[in-house]
């Protein structure tokens, strides 16, 4: 009985995989595959015992004609590489538009907002635990949310408005006396995709600095949860608090690390 169940699960799994493959096949766009047949196709699946229904023979005749039509389309695709390339390109383009959509940007925005909080919790409440060292000891967390930010940038560029007009962006870095960079920045905040890009940008760098503070505390035996928490809340002041903590505890500020590397080489 167990063997029969195992084989049944395997058959169902294969059927599911086949349906997924067929669903994304370029041939489905041409109506060649069975799952793309129109509603007026040869069979009525809602009719019980359709093979014995009186109208089955005419449907069987239509079936032969329909099969010949579909086979001719399939032959055209196989014999015409340009048609196959065009069909595949259309499918890829449609998939890209669905992936790089404003809805996807919203989801990435939420991921960039809430995802790093789990890493902050580890560094703030469990700074010396092995799980924190394993998760935050490397750069995988920073890399993951950097990729989320990159996705938001690419998806935003795929939209008509992009992230924000380049003219307004240039206004932020205009050093001329008559320019108003702050007003230009406020104007750019009217664009949702720019907000998404900037927000994920800031949160990723905050996480990078928070990890630096936490790691420095491990190396030199400095209490860091308060500094890491402040870094998560408002960024740079968290690093300043860490510097003050280093001085008050007698550990001192980090020296010139580049010169230390030169001493090691000598």
pLDDT digits (tens, 9 = 90+) for 113-155: 999 999 999 999 999 999 999 999 999 999 999 999 999 999 9
pTM of the model: 0.64
pLDDT at site 229: 97
Q: What CA–CA distance (Å, rounded) separates 243 from 203?
A: 21
Give pLDDT, residue 251.
93
pLDDT classification of 3: cutoffs 50, 70, 90: low
Burial 163-199 (b: 16+ CB within 10 A, else e): bbeeebbebbeeeeeeeeeeebbebbeebbbbebbbe
Cα diameter, the chain: 96
For 124, other C-beta atoms within 10 Å of its C-beta total 19
d(CA 149, CA 127) in angstroms, rounded, equals 26
Nearest to 86 by CA among 12, 26, 152: 26
Q: Which of 60-69, 119-128, 149-158, 186-195 has the highest mean pLDDT?
A: 119-128
User: Quick one: pLDDT at residue 99?
Assistant: 78
Determine the pLDDT at residue 15: 63
The pLDDT score that the predictor gives to residue 219 is 94
Task: Give me the pLDDT at residue 224, please.
Answer: 97
pLDDT at residue 47 in the model: 45
Query: C-alpha 101: how far from its chain's center?
Result: 11
What pLDDT digit, counting tens, does each position of 196-254 carry?
A: 999 999 999 999 999 999 999 999 999 999 999 999 999 999 999 999 999 999 999 98
Averaged over 166-188, what is the pLDDT?
89
Provide the mean pLDDT of the chain: 77
State both tokens at 249: 């505890």
Contact yes or no for 184/174 (Cβ under 8 A):
yes
Would you say residue 80 has pLDDT above 50? yes
Q: Examine the pLDDT at 35 and tell me if it is beyond 50.
A: no
Quickly tell me which residue has 């995802």 as its tokens. Answer: 115
The residue with greater pLDDT, 260 or 130, is: 130
- Residue pair 212/187 in contact (Cβ under 8 Å)? The answer is no
């Amino acid at each position: 009985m167990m063997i029969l169940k195992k084989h049944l699960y395997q058959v169902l799994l294969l059927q599911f995989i086949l349906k997924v493959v067929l669903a994304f096949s370029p041939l489905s766009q041409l109506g060649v595959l069975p799952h793309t047949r129109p509603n007026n196709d040869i069979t009525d699946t809602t009719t019980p015992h359709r093979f014995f229904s009186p109208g089955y023979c005419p449907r069987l005749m239509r079936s032969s004609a329909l099969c010949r039509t579909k086979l001719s389309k399939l032959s055209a695709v196989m014999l015409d590489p340009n048609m196959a390339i065009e069909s595949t390109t259309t499918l890829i383009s449609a998939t890209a538009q669905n992936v790089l959509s404003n809805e996807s940007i919203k989801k990435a925005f939420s991921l960039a907002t809430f995802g790093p909080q789990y890493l902050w919790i580890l560094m703030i409440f469990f700074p010396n635990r092995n799980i924190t060292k394993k998760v935050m000891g490397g750069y995988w967390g920073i890399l993951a949310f950097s990729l989320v930010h990159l996705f938001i940038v690419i998806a935003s560029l795929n939209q008509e408005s992009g992230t924000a007009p380049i003219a307004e962006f240039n206004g932020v870095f205009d050093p001329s006396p008559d320019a108003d960079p702050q007003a230009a920045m406020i104007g750019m905040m009217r664009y949702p995709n720019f907000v998404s890009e900037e927000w994920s940008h800031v949160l990723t760098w905050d996480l990078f600095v928070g990890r630096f503070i936490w790691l420095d505390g491990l190396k030199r035996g400095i209490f860091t949860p308060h500094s890491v928490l402040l870094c998560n809340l408002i960024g740079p002041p968290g690093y300043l608090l860490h510097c003050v903590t280093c001085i008050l505890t007698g550990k001192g500020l980090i020296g010139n690390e580049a010169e230390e590397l030169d001493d090691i080489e000598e």
